[in-house]
Chains A and B, each alone.
Chain A
Amino acid sequence: MRRMVALAAIAAAMAGCGGSDEADDSRTLTVYSGREEELVAPLFDRFEEETGIDVEVRYGDSAELAATIAEEGDNSPADVFFAQDPGSLGAVDELLAKLPSTTLSRVADDLRDSEGRWVGTSGRARVIVYNTDALSEDEVPDSVYDLTDPEWKGRVGLAPTNASFHAFVTAMRLDAGEERTRRWLEDLKENDPTFYEKNTPIVEATASGEIDLGLVNHYYLYLVQAEQGSDAPIANKYLPFDDPGALVSVAGAGVLASSDDVDAAERFVEFLLSDESQRFYTDEAEEAEIPLVDGIDPKEGVPSLDELSDRGPDVDLSSFGGELERTLELLNETGYTS
C-alpha cells in the first residue's frame, strides 16, 4: 500500500513537471485540414521544427470540416482552415480574418480570395485522364465539349458528387453561361457516362480499362501510379485551348477570426507559401501539385502555372463558394446527383 502511495506521488510530481514545462515554452496551433494526411503531414512536421510551435491537426473531408467550423461558430478551436477547394473556404469566409498583404502577394491575385480572407497554397489542373492502351494522346479530345460526341458513348467517367467536379461545372457556367452548360450536361448524360464517387476510382477504372477516359484533377494519376506501379497504362492530357476542362483551381488556407493565436496562424499560412514549402510539391510530394509562387517549377511532366494560365476559363475562384449552390441545383436538375 505504502509503495502504491509513493508511486502515485511520483507520478503526480512528474505530471506536474510536465505541465509546467509545457506552459512555459509551447504554443499550440490547431489546424483543420481537409487535405489528406498522407499528402501534407510532412509540411506540418517541418513547421513544428522550424518554429517550435506545436501543431495539432484535425483531418477530415473539406466540406465536412467547413460544416463543423460553421457549427462551432466563435467557439471553434481551429486557428487555421487548410482546405482542398475554394468552395469549402468560401463557405466559411465570413469566419476568416483578412490575411497580411505580404502573404497574399506571394500568389497571383486570381488564386486567392478577392477580399484576402484565404489564399491558394497549391494548384491543380483539370485534365482528361486516359487509358494509353486504348487511346493515343491525339485521339483524346482537345475539349470537354467534344465528349458529347457519340464516339465517346459509354467510355467516359466522372464524379458528379465530388467537389472537384463541382468546381469544374461552376467554371463552365461562369465561362460559357448557364444554358450552354445545361445543354452540355444533358448531352453528356445521353452518352452514358459512368459515375464514380471520387477522382481516385476514376483513374483506377481508367487504368483497368473499365472506361477509356475520365474527367479528373491532374495529380490523382500519381497517386494511382504509386499504388499500382508507374507502368499502369494511364496518362493525363492537359487540354490545349481555352476550355473549362483546363481549369486551374487551388487548395488553400485561411486564418479563423476567432483564433486565440492569430500570429502563429498567420505564420503557418506564410510558411505554406515559403519557397521551401512550395518546393515540397515539386521535389517530394508524390502527387505533384503545382507550386503557386513565382520561380518554382512543378515536377517534370506537369505544366507550370504560366503554361496553364493561357488556357482555361477566366473565372474568379473566390466566387466558387457562392456559386456552388446553383451548380448543385443544375446537377440535380440534369439528373447527375439524383
Chain B
Amino acid sequence: MLRKVSLAIGGIVLIGLLAVGGCQLTQLQASAPSDSAKWEQVEAQTPAATVDKKAVINGGEFNKFFPTAADGYERVYTQEKNGFAEAKLKQDGATLAMLSVSDTASNPNAALKYQNSDRTLAGYPLLEVGSTTTGLLVADRLQVKVLSRDPDFTPTEREAWLEQFDLAGLATLVK
C-alpha cells in the first residue's frame, strides 16, 4: 500500500501542468543519468591538446587515398577536420563500417600502441582495437582504421578494406 502511495505521489510530482496560450501539456521532468562526476575526473586527468596545429596534416589531404567503392558499396565522406578524415561505407542504404585516417601528430599516444603489434598488413603494423576496430600505422605516423558498425562486418572484412586504401600514397604525405 505504502509503495502504491509513494508511486502515486511520484507520478504526481513528475507530471507538471503547463498552460500557455490556451494549450495544456504534460511535462515530465528530466531524469538524466549522472555519471558526470566520473567524467569530471577523466577530464582532470586528460591534458588539453598541446599540439602544433600547423604541423598536423589536414584531413583533406587524406581523401584521395580512401578506397573507392564499387560493386554495390557506397562511400560517403562524413568528416574532414585538421588531421582527420572519415567516410562511411554503406550498402543498400545501411552503414557497414567507418573508414578513417588520422594524423597521430595530433594525438601522439595513438601511435605508441603499434609498438605492441605482432602482425603486419602490406608491411605496416596492424592491431585490433576493442571488438569493432582494426587499425594500422603508415610511416610511423598516419593511423588508418576500419570500424565495424554492422555486427556482421567481420575483422577479416575490416582487413580487406584496410588493404584497399592507397597506403603507399598516404606514406608519401609524411616527409
Physical interaction between A and B: no
| Chain A residues with a Cβ under 8 A of chain B | none
| Chain B residues with a Cβ under 8 A of chain A | none
